[in-house]
Amino acid sequence: MADADSRAGERYATPQILDFAAQTHHPADSALQRAFEAPSRHGMPEIQLGAAEGRLLELLLRLAGAQRVVEIGTLAGYSAIWMARALPPGGHLWTIEADPKHAAVAREVIEDAGLADRVTIVEGDAIDALSKLSHSGPFCAVFVDADKARYDLYGRWATQNLRQGGLLIGDNAYLFGNLLDETEVAEAMRRFHAEMAAAYVSVCVPTPDGLAVGLRGDPKA
């Protein structure tokens, strides 16, 4: 059963209200707009975060005082821009992308946004890349928005490499409405949820496809 807050959000979030909230709280500037439109321009999947989720990422990183951040799944660099803007001087974001074309687009987008000095795009398979990044930790936040069948593996790596008080954030936590299916992908995503709930103070924010957020620490403390 959906909770009262979720039902109220569905009832009151009219297109007009959503547009007002977006224009008031997170209007797009030129760099963000170019990044958001990059997948369409380059024939890439248009599966980037929405602007509200991007702003939420930025806000969470600022609240956590994040300095070293890992993103798994760069696409065209839209979410990377939001997160890189949250970092203080000397902070750094490592973002992992398996597709060389996507990585090239993201590199251009991030350079255009003036953020190349604080973002490293790591090309290659995420599991291999993460094993090489561990020496740069512990990290302050890990954002997962990649292949859903390995979310549980990514979550375990994050748990091993996050500082206490660090954040684990996973997009598409509802698995496009398929979270409760009896498939290997759904089982992996449910493990991601369960292991986050066991090791973090966590919540799944009811964005259109769910945003799981965990604070590293004892959830029973």
How high is the pLDDT of residue 217? 86
pLDDT digits (tens, 9 = 90+) for 45-86: 899 999 999 999 999 999 999 999 999 999 999 999 999 999
Residues comprising the chain, all counted: 221
Q: Work out the average pLDDT over 186-197.
A: 98
Exposure letters 16-52 (e unless 16+ CB within 10 A, then b): eeeeeeeeeebeeeebbebbbbbbeeeebeeebbbbb
How high is the pLDDT of residue 146? 97
Pair 57, 145: CB distance under 8 Å: no
Name the token pair of 76: 């065209």
In angstroms, rounded to a whole number, what is the distance separating the alpha carbons of residues 142 and 71?
6
* Region at 165 (left for phi over 0; alpha for psi -120 to 50; beta for the rest): left
What are the residue ranges spanned by the domains of the chain? 15-216
Residues of the chain with pLDDT > 70, as a percent, come to 95
> With bands split at pLDDT 50, 70 and 90, how would you rate the model's confidence at 1?
very low
How high is the pLDDT of residue 6? 55
Architecture of domain 15-216: 3-Layer(aba) Sandwich (3.40)
pLDDT digits (tens, 9 = 90+) for 138-184: 999 999 999 999 999 999 999 999 999 999 999 999 999 999 999 99
- Packing angle between helix 51-64 and helix 30-41, nearest 10 degrees? 130
Residue 161's SS3 state is helix
Average pLDDT, the chain: 94
How high is the pLDDT of residue 12? 85
- With a cut of 90, say whether residue 5 has pLDDT above it: no
DSSP for 166-201, written as a single string: EEEEEE-TTGGGTTTSSSHHHHHHHHHHHHHHHHEE
Pair 93, 80: CB distance under 8 Å: yes
Residue 70's SS3 state is strand
Q: Work out the average pLDDT over 187-209.
A: 97
